[in-house]
Chains A and B, each alone.
Chain A
Amino acid sequence: MTIGDGVGTVVRELGACARALGEESTPRETNRTASGLGLRHVEFASPFVISPALDPTAFRALADYGRSLGVRLSCALGMVSAGHAERTTRFREAGRGDLVAGLSKALRAIGELDTDYVQIVVGTLDDRYDASVGWPEQLDATAQLYRNLAPVLTDLSLKLAVKTHEEITSHEILALVDAVGSDHLAVALDPVNLPVRGEDPELATGRLAPHVGRIHYDDAWITSTGRGLARRLCPGGQGDIDWGAIFRILDGAGSSAPVLVDLHRGEFEMPVCDERWLLQNSDVSLRELSILSSRARPDRPPVTATAPRLQAALSELATMTRGTAA
């Protein structure tokens, strides 16, 4: 399935994050599920899902299998930052104590998928508010770590695509891209996370558009809680993310990144009236705060069930689809 006519001029591959297609599935089952749904792209959450030993032949075999079903594969590295060694122990083991070597080994395996971007997440919301080490310091250290991967990225013609995850702002991501170099670091645009940092998805997309290598599709309501704002996940097409506008912005920037259905789980509140929160989120602007607030509906429970959300996402994206798998 490709996406284009309904939203603009650029034809995009439509796919999904593997997790959205079944938590318990094997990679081959995920490929079959994707193919059955007419999807042309699957992104796995971790290379260890494909091969615990990061065996390149396993990656090549899986890519061949996907290709036979008309499904292109990519694979994320997961959460990788300098300040949280506990999250990267398997990579370090793979590098026999050398984290960069382990990550490089994983990237070489992922390269066998014949992909272009490798999605990566910097951290968690707790990291941003970690009192023991400042967030800017963590970002600097992470930039250094990502820079250390430059040789292998160059060698494989790969780019890391840092996800607009809930802990990081688009401004911080742009600074990270600047620090690492845009030839090695791109962006995995995940608009549903942007309001969590007080950002308007469309304006933030405009900022990030030149660097976008992956697009994560989901939807959410922006609600008013009486304590501030909240992000409540909901079925695609029912929420406050204006995907038509986002695709138009990306089209305008010439981005042909694939769209991956990604069913999020986190519920986040944004206590925008709390001065301390605002001080910790100095990127929040008058304009984006006012835009988010104008969209806010009365608070309501999220829709967390994945099956109806997957269905809604696919049918919503189908309304923006040109043709089917060719």
Chain B
Amino acid sequence: MRIGVDGRKIPESRARGPVSSLEHADELGMAGLFFRTVLDMSPALDAGELRDIRSKADELGMYLETGLGKVNPYANPEAPELRAVGDGDIVLGFRRMMEACAAIDCRELWVATANYKSVYSGRWAYDRFRTDVTWTEQLDATARFLGTLAPIARDLGIHLNLETHEEITSFELVRLVEAVGSDVVGVVFDTANVLQRLEHPVWAAERLAPYVRQTHIKDAAITYTEGGLAYQMRPCGTGVVDFHRILPILAAANPALNLTIENDESLDDLPRPRRTMLIEAFDPEFLDGHPDLTVQEMAAYLDMVQSYDRQLRSGERIDNAAYAAQPYGYAETVSYIRSSADHVRSVCAEYDLPVESITKAGDLAESAR
């Protein structure tokens, strides 16, 4: 396993571009970059540009991961670039992206089912609660579209890895993988998103582990708030996600898995109000929208929330308002990434998990011995 960082959310990614971001990540001690989509790396799928990025990653000894886009036909219109890159034919667009990825030997490719709608609150932010098309219909359409892409993926030796994105449950992901085939479909495990579906991250890890091929390593505070629970991203080790239990599960299933820190994006790069996300955990309609959730898992989840609440009350953790009031620019984002990586690294060391030498600085120290 290697520890890297998100290629879109690493600070200054847009200003620096992919090649320089790789160098930047290397300077920060990261062993790889995970660009969300290949269009982030090269909007025109320019083979030369993509080769340069691959060369830089190889030169630095870093992993390079990427992805495609949304594979839910009901969400795809929100990303017109997917159709545009196929000159109007979205399947051709995906084929072109997949071929471009395969050409630089990126064959584990992120895909996802919808876009989080931050302008809305509570369940309306999640497309599983859309009123124009049911979530079941969206999942069915997603399975059909993945089925269309499957032969292309199979031909290119590619896995389309569905993220545990905000709107989808791990139960639904397992069913999608098994319906389309685990030879072409896998999972990008985002360790914190599942919290928004009231799933305990450890329980989700156990369900997903056989299919996890990419990761977003992420942590969050879950706290009581008006109308339910508040979700706020926090550096790994300072939220509710128990990496001590999750990482051994992931490593046992896939010892070669790359662990990509998904940091909160710097306010310098993306100026925005620092809102928390509302999980309407006490709302009957919200709960009815989670038919796979068991009382047992909910009890474990609430126990995790209670435990975090005790940490807040004891002063071991700071509350959401105080956290959000802190500055969060370049320096703080770098510190967020470093402390997250340190936490993951220390957990890996504690459990003797197979983490490759982590930084170039580490490599140098190794070779000097």
Query: Chain A residues in contact with chain B, CB under 8 A?
Result: 224, 226, 228, 272-273, 275, 278, 284-287, 289-291, 293-294, 296, 298
Contact = CB atoms under 8 A, between A and B. Distances in A.
Contacts of B293: 286
Q: Which of B296, B299, B313 has the most CB of A within 10 A?
A: B299
A287 B284 contact: yes
Given A293-B305, A296-B306, A287 B287 contact: yes
B282 A224 contact: no
B281 interface: yes
Interface in B292-329: 293, 295-296, 298-300, 302-303, 305-307, 309-310, 313
B211 to A, nearest CB: 25
Contacts of B299: 228, 272-273, 278, 289
Task: List the 3 shortest-distance A-B pairs measured between CB atoms, nearest first.
Answer: A293-B302, A224-B306, A272-B299
A226 B293 CA distance: 22
17 contacts: A224-B306, A226-B307, A228-B299, A273-B300, A275-B296, A285-B295, A286-B290, A286-B293, A286-B295, A286-B298, A289-B298, A290-B281, A290-B298, A290-B302, A294-B229, A294-B281, A296-B306
Interface in B254-299: 281-282, 284, 287, 290, 293, 295-296, 298-299
Given A272-B299, A290-B287, 18 more contacts: A226-B307, A228-B303, A272-B302, A273-B303, A278-B296, A286-B290, A286-B293, A286-B298, A289-B302, A290-B281, A290-B298, A290-B302, A293-B302, A293-B305, A293-B306, A294-B229, A296-B306, A298-B313
B126 to A, nearest CB: 17
Contacts of B302: 272, 289-290, 293
A287 B282 CA distance: 5
B351 interface: no
B116 interface: no
Contacts of B224: 294
Contacts of A293: 302, 305-306
Nearest to B279: A290
Q: At the interface, is chain B mostly helix, strand, loop or mixed?
A: helix
A213 to B, nearest CB: 28
A249 to B, nearest CB: 16
A284 B224 CA distance: 21
A226 B304 CA distance: 10
A284 B306 contact: no
A287 B281 CA distance: 7
A290 B191 CA distance: 22
Contacts of A289: 295, 298-299, 302
A294 B296 contact: no
A220 B300 CA distance: 24
A286 B287 contact: yes
Given A275-B296, A278-B296, A285-B295, A291 B310 contact: no
Nearest to A275: B296
Nearest to A272: B299
A295 B307 CA distance: 14
Contact of A284 (B295, B303, B310): B295
Nearest to B306: A224
A272 B284 CA distance: 20
Contacts of B306: 224, 293, 296
A272 B282 contact: no
Contacts of B296: 275, 278
B276 to A, nearest CB: 16
Contacts of B313: 298
A273 to B, nearest CB: 5
Contact of A278 (B281, B284, B295, B307): B295
A204 to B, nearest CB: 15
A308 to B, nearest CB: 27
Nearest to B307: A226
Q: Which of B284, B293, B298 has the most CB of A within 10 A?
A: B298
Nearest to A285: B295
Contacts of A290: 281-282, 287, 298, 302
Contact of A291 (B282, B303, B305, B307): B282
A224 B309 contact: yes
A75 B54 CA distance: 85
B304 to A, nearest CB: 9
A224 B304 CA distance: 11
A34 to B, nearest CB: 39
A69 B313 CA distance: 51
B228 to A, nearest CB: 8
Interface in B202-243: 224, 229
Contacts of A294: 224, 229, 281-282
Contacts of A284: 295
Contacts of B310: 224, 226, 298
A114 to B, nearest CB: 43
Nearest to A271: B299
Q: Which of A224, A275, A285, A293 has the most CB of B within 10 A?
A: A293
A124 to B, nearest CB: 24
